[in-house]
Copies of this chain bind each other. A is one copy, B any other.
């Protein structure tokens, strides 16, 4: 272990390292102070890189003097809504996640083409639950969960270390009183070769950034002297696989970007850029026929080519469909739904159909005391007789909200500690009521389906009105006022000035 060698090399020079006082001195002498500092300010010697060769720290179990500790794994819709709702006078909150922000996923597609800025769709966890950054017993750890030990009420973690000169990750454990697993899901590849290597998913901000950089790079590469017509067509062929809301919204935004910005800012290559949306079944299958037809018409109108097909193989610059046709691409975005992550699969917990973590009506993992699971990583066990809920933001959000109040109820009843609270009356179980679906198609058009099910009764709209509803709805749902403000400003600026095309 590299850091261990460094450590042993350096451990000879360990001394204390106190923060310096903030000195104030009169102006007249401040420069001489500057030089006196030079004289007496021998900075303290070098500390060790970690307390022990293995840096295996731990958050010990809470004592009677402390609040009970809720450990939340993940910072997505479910985890963040839970943390927002939890009563921090009853609990200390500890969040473990590889990102210190929640991504406002419904607006992520808009960031790829610069309609929105990346920061406008990212909400720091510390803003969602301020206690995490101020309360002595509450923490956020930029780390990955590596395993769970339910018998000892322990979570095993490893720090995230990226960027240049990344150090070895540090391992540590956290003792929990209550554990909430909200690890989310992972994009599915159906075991198709090359997807992970060559396609870009659209679930995280860094992926949206990668899509944007790739798109702008290809736009500029295709201008290079000596590039053939065919090569231009390949570079500027954006292929989206998966006709769900994400795929459709991204295609819509992309065609919007092409129609409005590329024609103007990349006039040389505007006739080469194209968007193809590949779907094995029907696009937006969760919406009714009328809305689907409308969506199809709108997308086609804005130049998105809809292709019915199944991807068989993915190579560096082309995909192969099951009927053997080869589709060359410059940018490949993969949005074919989600499945359980390797970690979730690996956890030795009861499972629901589809490999999700099994939960009962109160979102508890059956027979595992003090462990709950919410969001895309969880699903009702068969014994509940309930279906596994779809992997939707609104499901995750509702579960987070429900579990927050349940935990608060348990805490108030004095059941917050580990191995206690089982006797508390849990009240009414979690019931999911679908509030409807929305999808934007770009060009000031969107679909809004306010019916509880595809067959159910209710309002379903398409067009500008629903586009307006869609934007307003999301605008009011972005969590902080800061981001509401920024999203509004971004949308406004895009309308007035067009999208930003600087590749940073």
Verify B502–A122 contact, CB threshold 8 A. yes
Verify A217–B307 contact, CB threshold 8 A. no
Verify A100–B502 contact, CB threshold 8 A. yes
CB nearest to A502 among chain B residues: B101
Verify A317–B49 contact, CB threshold 8 A. yes
Kindly identify, within residues 22 to 67 of chain A, every residue whose CB is under 8 Å from any CB belonging to chain B: 22-28, 30-31, 33-35, 37-39, 41-52, 55-59
Tell me whether A444 is interfacial, beta carbon within 8 Å.
no
CB nearest to A143 among chain B residues: B224
Q: Which B residues lie within 8 Å of A276 (CB)?
A: 43
A423 to chain B minimum Cβ distance, whole angstroms, is: 32
Tell me whether A17 is interfacial, beta carbon within 8 Å.
yes
Kindly identify, within residues 181 to 223 of chain A, every residue whose CB is under 8 Å from any CB belonging to chain B: 197-198, 205-206, 209-210, 213-214, 216-217, 220-221, 223
Tell me whether A325 is interfacial, beta carbon within 8 Å.
yes
Q: Which B residues lie within 8 Å of A1 (CB)?
A: none
Verify A234–B47 contact, CB threshold 8 A. yes
Give the CA-CA distance A14 to B75 in the complex, in Å.
47
Q: Which B residues lie within 8 Å of A27 (CB)?
A: 293-294, 297
Q: Which B residues lie within 8 Å of A136 (CB)?
A: 268
Verify A226–B301 contact, CB threshold 8 A. no
Q: Which B residues lie within 8 Å of A44 (CB)?
A: 233, 328
Q: Which B residues lie within 8 Å of A118 (CB)?
A: 504
Verify A221–B142 contact, CB threshold 8 A. yes
Tell me whether A117 is interfacial, beta carbon within 8 Å.
yes
Q: Which B residues lie within 8 Å of A50 (CB)?
A: 226-228, 231
Kindly identify, within residues 312 to 348 of chain A, every residue whose CB is under 8 Å from any CB belonging to chain B: 316-318, 321, 323, 325-328
Q: Are A24 and B502 also in contact (CB < 8 A) when A159-B221, A316-B165 are?
A: no
Verify B205–A34 contact, CB threshold 8 A. no
Verify A481–B497 contact, CB threshold 8 A. yes
A207 to chain B minimum Cβ distance, whole angstroms, is: 11
Query: What are 7 sample pairs from A and B whose C-beta atoms fall under 8 A apart?
Result: A17-B229, A43-B327, A46-B317, A134-B264, A141-B220, A165-B316, A489-B489
Report, nearest first, the 3 A-B pairs whose CB atoms are least far apart. Answer: A57-B226, A38-B308, A47-B230
A sample of 15 more A-B contacts (CB under 8 A), given A24-B300, A31-B296, is A6-B317, A10-B318, A19-B233, A20-B305, A24-B297, A27-B297, A33-B300, A34-B308, A43-B327, A119-B500, A133-B264, A134-B264, A162-B217, A163-B210, A485-B493
